[in-house]
Structure 1
Amino acid sequence: MNTNDHGPLGARSAYPQHYDASLLFPIERAAARRELGLDPAALPFGGVDIWNAYELSWLDGRGKPQVALGQLRVPAHSPRLVESKSLKLYLNSLNQERIGSADAVQELIARDLSAATGAAVTMSLVTADQFAAQRLDELDGECIDALALDIDDYGPVRPAYLRSDGAQVAETLVSHLLKSNCPVTGQPDWASVRIDYAGAAIDRAGLLRYLVSYRDHAGFHEQCVERIWCDLWQRCSPHRLSVYARYTRRGGLDINPWRSNGAERCRNPRGARQ
């Protein structure tokens, strides 16, 4: 696989009229992880990439259109991620496909994504009769965005801003100021990020400056979160660390990577910007 070829992301595309699993375009994770000094076979973290699909439709057995929201969970240990536009095209290939039940839709998408990523992907649907029960729910934690700072550094990424002192804490910090850019199209990607850790207290001003230094950084969502996790781990030496970014949607999809060296399960709170 040519990891420098990002498939349909930067190209004009004809939208499919029939189901086609070959539209999925996998990208190997290993090269980006090696750039961070990680051994892809022995990662220091676990986690998941949560994809929310807001434009999901198919035909029932009698040809009547059905709509739903979809949640995909791709394990962080999977050898491959899937390029976002290819996933959109794949999901759109279901629009005119007759599928007998919502359960069959879940099984089909989970099967195809598992094959593309090389790991067991889970798929769940929120059907139309459940829409009214959906709620907004922001990331929990203490927001650091109100810190009074003069900032004039927007890249490249500056791990040197990260530092900690001897005071031992367990805390959860949140910022809504994370922005990076798509490495193929250059379009901006916007996110809120939650950092939960235990260890020497992280300097909050330095952390905010560090997050803002991603403003001109080109990287896929998953790679940005893994870079943040690695920089915090190396510079601040916490003994427990999780990093969770909630990115705004594009093309009916949002991508929300979570990396942690703990055993907790990641929630899927839909924020106001999503």
Structure 2
Amino acid sequence: MTAAELPLGRDVAYPTHYDPGLLFPIARSIGRSALGLAGSLPFIGVDRWHAYELSWLDARGKPRVATATFTVPFDSPSLIESKSLKLYLNSFNAHRVANELGLRDLIVADLSRAAGAPVRFDFGLPPVDTGSGDDRSIDAIELDIDRYGPPDPSQLHSGGEEVTEVLVSGLLKSNCPVTGQPDWASVRIAYRGPCIDRAGLLRYLVSFRDHADFHEQCVERIFSDLLTRCAPRSLSVEARYTRRGGLDINPWRATPDVPAPASQRDSRQ
């Protein structure tokens, strides 16, 4: 099955039984080859998923509900398409599982098989981010913008003294490459290096507005363009996408010297 043949944007029969075959992996190499990424990758990272609508039946047939966080490593051969994950999780709605440990083990095995690498499962969601005094929003910059796609890395510039700062924007939007549905996100860019021009960065992020790509691939493009055009000594890019179908995706990519950021959610999530 190709991405064009996925059951996205079409009427789909509601899963009536547990079915791991609903999961649809997509090779990461497809998006990375378009960015010229091959062999040793210039980043580390994870894709953190938040599931808000997880339900199953216990051993006596009583419905149970929970939230959960799935963490997929950046170097897994495949990412997991989000609509297929939604359908897969819904296939537990009428499935009996002896206990929460059994459910977790089953989901971990299925997601790890689809991704091609160990996937971490935790019940519950991370806390909502209340903001940091070190973060600097670039959204209030007054400027004219007339380019909304394709992504325009020529807008990225840096220079002058070396700084260490965190720049954030809530204006990132891209589109699903299969359905064309909008995907909304905030993005957090932490770096050390020549000062990045904030107006150019905002124009660049807005240039994703009509771009069609998966969440994970958008973040890898942003990381790659910033690394190439602005030459930071260290770089971290995290996007927090708003939920669709009871799921949100939060890809993070960074240079190998950067520790993983705290797991948090945006207020929009």
Contact 1:6-1:83 at 8 Å conserved across structures: no
Deviations 1:120-169 (A, max 9, x none): 1000112xxxx9xx742256421111111121221221100000012101
The structure 2 residue matched to 1:188, chosen from 169, 182, 191, is: 182
1:151 aligns with 2:150: no
Gaps of 5+ in 2: none
Tell me: CA distance 1:118–1:188, structure 2 relative to 1, closer, same or farther (3 Å). same
Separation in structure 2 between the aligned mates of residue 42 and residue 139 of structure 1, nearest angstrom: 34
Q: Give 2:128's aligned residue.
A: 136
Identify which range, 253-262 or 149-158, moves more after superposition: 149-158
Contact 1:144-1:174 at 8 Å conserved across structures: yes
Provide the identity percentage.
60
Contact 2:24-2:81 at 8 Å conserved across structures: yes
Q: Give 1:273's aligned residue.
A: 268
Separation in structure 2 between the aligned mates of residue 24 and residue 6 of structure 1, nearest angstrom: 13
Q: Give 2:244's aligned residue.
A: 250
Q: Give 1:13's aligned residue.
A: 12
Separation in structure 2 between the aligned mates of residue 113 and residue 34 of structure 1, nearest angstrom: 24
Deviations 1:55-108 (A, max 9, x none): 000111111111100100000100101111100000001111111111211111
The residue type equivalent to 1:77 in the other structure is: D
Contact 1:102-1:125 at 8 Å conserved across structures: no
Q: Give 1:93's aligned residue.
A: 91
The residue type equivalent to 2:42 in the other structure is: P
Secondary structure at the aligned position of 1:189 is classed as strand
Aligned structure 1 segments of 4 or more residues deviating by more than 6 angstroms: none
The number of residue pairs the alignment matches comes to: 266
1:165 aligns with 2:159: yes
1:22 aligns with 2:21: yes
Q: CA-atom RMSD, angstroms?
A: 1.5
Scaled by the length of structure 2, what TM-score is found?
Answer: 0.95
Scaled by the length of structure 1, what TM-score is found?
Answer: 0.93
Separation in structure 1 between the aligned mates of residue 241 and residue 28 of structure 2, nearest angstrom: 19
Contact 1:19-1:93 at 8 Å conserved across structures: yes
Tell me: CA distance 1:237–1:118, structure 2 relative to 1, closer, same or farther (3 Å). same
Contact 1:244-1:258 at 8 Å conserved across structures: yes
Contact 2:56-2:63 at 8 Å conserved across structures: yes
Contact 1:139-1:269 at 8 Å conserved across structures: no
Q: Give 1:31's aligned residue.
A: 30
Secondary structure at the aligned position of 1:13 is classed as coil
Secondary structure at the aligned position of 2:162 is classed as strand
Separation in structure 2 between the aligned mates of residue 150 and residue 23 of structure 1, nearest angstrom: 45
The structure 1 residue matched to 2:80, chosen from 76, 79, 82, is: 82
Separation in structure 1 between the aligned mates of residue 21 and residue 97 of structure 2, nearest angstrom: 18
1:49-64 map, 5 Å: 49-64=47-62
Identify which range, 21-30 or 102-111, moves more after superposition: 102-111
Contact 2:235-2:258 at 8 Å conserved across structures: no
Contact 1:45-1:259 at 8 Å conserved across structures: yes
Contact 2:20-2:110 at 8 Å conserved across structures: yes
Separation in structure 2 between the aligned mates of residue 72 and residue 136 of structure 1, nearest angstrom: 17
Separation in structure 2 between the aligned mates of residue 201 and residue 258 of structure 1, nearest angstrom: 21
Contact 1:138-1:270 at 8 Å conserved across structures: no
Secondary structure at the aligned position of 2:167 is classed as strand
